[in-house]
């Protein structure tokens, strides 16, 4: 067992690797009633090809998310029905790079842990249950199809990435999930859901002994499994420079994205420097935002963010605007000015102070703490890595990174325009 400590917070948590290969992080939070548990595998929507024990598997878009839905159903019933007996509030989510099964509970923690560890590691699929789920997930996909913000995000990602699977919707498409079979789900569960592939993170009113006892009761065995993820090499080029779609929205939505060249894997320093740059460029204190807001070119939806994972990194500035062309020009000018002048000391310190405060707050609620431990683990970091790295970042680091970013030929613009009015 290792103790991970942070002196700013004056707190620590424990990490354990059990005999079956399962790794556990436990963050005891005195004074809290609830426990939040995250049982996670780093199998997400970007994972579409892998080799297991010498055999190659290629899967359609949406399998990780589909699997997440189907894991809740076991031969002896539905996991939600089992959780209902403990009162736990349970759910799951799939992101680009991981799938997490979660619950929050204040009582019957042992029982809820037993349910979690059991159903996530006991796959049960039949052609009939797969077919039924295709209907439910089909509805979920259609719900997102009607979301202008969702379409905007995937529009800009499709523009930036040529081959990388991050450009595909997490849930896939109605067409892609129609190819999913029970066998395919069993193969993926075998590859990514064995205890040695997973991470269990808990936070709140709980200690490591309670978690270890639950793992003992689960009776996990160590399984020797060789799994290698395959990914097509992503070129530096982008897919398209601009694209527009029409939807029933009141004002246009626009996203300006840049494909950035960073290390592989992307480092925490690159992420933090990027966040400072985006804050200074387009955050609430930026000249750009304040000018555009008061000119009624943007509203509170305007934001700049970095979008990154292990092997992808993009910067995206987006928002609603009645004047897409003006906004694009203003963003271009602001980037040119920032790159020419560099970020100043005062802006840098303001942004760094703000990030420091936000990072402290990350340790305030049980859900966020448990989730952050799991996310950090899959990136080879601890929950404190970002906080520790931030203090070491200098203005020179940030300006050096800025000089390499926002390449004009690596830019895409995606717009969601209102439906054209029809003449009667």
Partner 1 sequence: MKRQLIAPKAHITVLPNEKFKRNRISINLIVPNAREKATMYALMPGLMERAYEDYPDMQMLSRKLNRMYAAQLSVGTAVIGANRCMRFTVQGIKNEYCINNEDLLAELCDVLLGVIFRPCLEDGAFVKDWLEVEKFKLREDIEGEINDKRGYCVKNARRKFFGDGLNGVERMGYLDEIDGITAEMLYSCYREMLDMAVVEIFITANNPDSAVEKLTEAFSYNRSAQADILPVTAVECKDVEFFTESMDTTQGKVCLVYTTKRLLTEDERYHMLVASALYGGTASSRLFKNVREKQSLCYYCAAGFNGFTSSMSVDSGVEHHNTQRTIDAVQYELKNMIEGEITDEEISQTKLTIINSLKANYDGLHGLEAWYLNEAIRGTAFTPEMVMERVENVTADDIRNVLSLLNLNVVYTISK
Stretch binding partner 1 (CB under 8 A), from 57-65, 267-275, 331-339, 355-363? 355-363
Distance CA 91, CA 61 (A): 22
Cβ nearer to partner 1, comparing 253 with 266:
253
- 421 is a catalytic site residue: no
Is the bond preceding residue 265 a cis peptide, omega within 30 degrees?
Answer: yes
Stretch binding partner 1 (CB under 8 A), from 116-124, 134-142, 331-339, 395-403? 134-142
Q: Is 320 in the site for partner 1 (CB under 8 A)?
A: yes
Among 4, 51, 251, 417, binds partner 1 (CB under 8 A): 251
Q: Is 31 in the site for partner 1 (CB under 8 A)?
A: yes
Cβ nearer to partner 1, comparing 106 with 389:
106
**Could you tell me which residues come within 8 angstroms of residue 90 by beta carbon, excluding any fewer than 6 positions away?**
79, 80, 83, 101, 102, 103, 112, 116
Among 14, 49, 74, 106, binds partner 1 (CB under 8 A): 106
From the candidates 3, 11, 68, 345, give the one annotated as an active-site residue: 68
Distance CA 37, CA 193 (A): 17
Do residues 307 and 314 lie in contact, with contact meaning Cβ atoms separated by under 8 Å?
yes
Among 66, 83, 125, 161, binds partner 1 (CB under 8 A): 83
Cβ nearer to partner 1, comparing 140 with 232:
140
Q: Is 325 in the site for partner 1 (CB under 8 A)?
A: no
Q: Is 353 in the site for partner 1 (CB under 8 A)?
A: yes
Q: How far is CA 403 from CA 258, 328, 339, 341, in A?
A: 14, 20, 6, 10
Cβ nearer to partner 1, comparing 241 with 290:
290
Q: Is 350 in the site for partner 1 (CB under 8 A)?
A: yes
Q: Is 127 in the site for partner 1 (CB under 8 A)?
A: no
Distance CA 120, CA 197 (A): 12
Q: How many positions of this chain bind partner 1 (CB under 8 A)?
A: 69
* Nearest distance, CB of residue 157 and partner 1, angstroms: 20
Do residues 1 and 12 lie in contact, with contact meaning Cβ atoms separated by under 8 Å?
no
Stretch binding partner 1 (CB under 8 A), from 18-26, 38-46, 329-337, 362-370? 362-370
Q: Is 54 in the site for partner 1 (CB under 8 A)?
A: no
Q: Considering only residues 257-286, where is the footprint of partner 1 by CB under 8 A?
A: 283-285
Among 243, 287, 339, 381, binds partner 1 (CB under 8 A): 287
Show which residues are catalytic. 68
Residues that bind partner 1 (CB under 8 A): 8-9, 29-34, 78, 80-81, 83-91, 104-108, 132, 135-137, 139-140, 142-143, 145-148, 204, 248-251, 283-285, 287, 290, 293-294, 296, 299-300, 320, 322, 350-351, 353-358, 360-361, 363-366, 419
């Amino acid at each position: 067992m290792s103790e991970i400590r942070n002196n700013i917070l004056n707190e620590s948590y424990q990490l354990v690797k059990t005999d079956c290969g399962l790794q556990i992080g436990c963050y005891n939070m005195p004074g809290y009633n609830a426990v939040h548990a995250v049982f996670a595998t780093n199998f997400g929507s970007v994972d579409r090809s892998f080799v297991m024990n010498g055999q190659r598997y290629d899967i359609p878009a949406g399998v990780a998310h589909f699997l997440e839905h189907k894991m809740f159903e076991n031969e002896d019933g539905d996991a939600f029905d089992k959780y209902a007996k403990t009162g736990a509030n349970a759910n799951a989510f799939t992101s680009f790079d991981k799938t997490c099964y979660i619950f929050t509970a204040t009582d019957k923690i042992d029982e809820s842990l037993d349910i979690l560890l059991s159903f996530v590691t006991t796959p049960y699929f039949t052609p009939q249950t797969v077919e039924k789920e295709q209907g439910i997930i089909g509805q979920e996909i259609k719900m997102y199809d009607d979301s202008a913000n969702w379409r905007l995000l995937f529009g800009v990602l499709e523009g930036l990435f040529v081959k990388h699977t991050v450009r595909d919707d997490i849930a896939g498409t109605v067409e892609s999930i129609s190819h999913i079979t029970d066998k395919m789900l069993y193969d993926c569960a075998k590859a990514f859901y064995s205890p040695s592939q997973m991470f269990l993170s808990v936070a709140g009113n709980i200690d490591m002994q309670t978690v270890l006892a639950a793992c003992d009761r689960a009776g996990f065995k160590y399984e020797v499994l060789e799994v290698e993820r395959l990914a097509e090499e992503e070129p530096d080029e982008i897919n398209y420079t601009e694209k527009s779609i029409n939807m029933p929205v009141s004002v246009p939505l626009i996203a300006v994205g840049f494909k950035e060249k960073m290390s592989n894997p992307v480092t925490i320093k690159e992420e933090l420097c990027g966040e400072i740059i985006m804050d200074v460029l387009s955050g609430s204190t930026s000249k750009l935002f304040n000018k555009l807001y008061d000119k009624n070119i943007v509203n509170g939806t305007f934001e700049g963010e970095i979008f990154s994972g292990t092997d992808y990194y993009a910067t995206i500035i987006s928002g609603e605007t009645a004047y897409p062309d003006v906004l694009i020009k203003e963003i271009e000018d602001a980037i040119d000015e920032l790159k020419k002048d560099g970020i100043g000391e005062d802006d840098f310190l303001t942004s760094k102070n703000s990030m420091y405060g936000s990072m402290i707050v990350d340790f305030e609620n049980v859900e966020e703490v448990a989730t952050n431990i799991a996310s950090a683990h899959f990136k080879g970091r601890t929950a404190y890595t970002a906080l520790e790295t931030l203090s070491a970042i200098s203005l020179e680091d940030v300006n050096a990174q800025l000089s390499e970013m926002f390449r004009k030929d690596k830019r895409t613009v995606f717009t969601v325009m209102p439906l054209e009015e029809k003449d009667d």
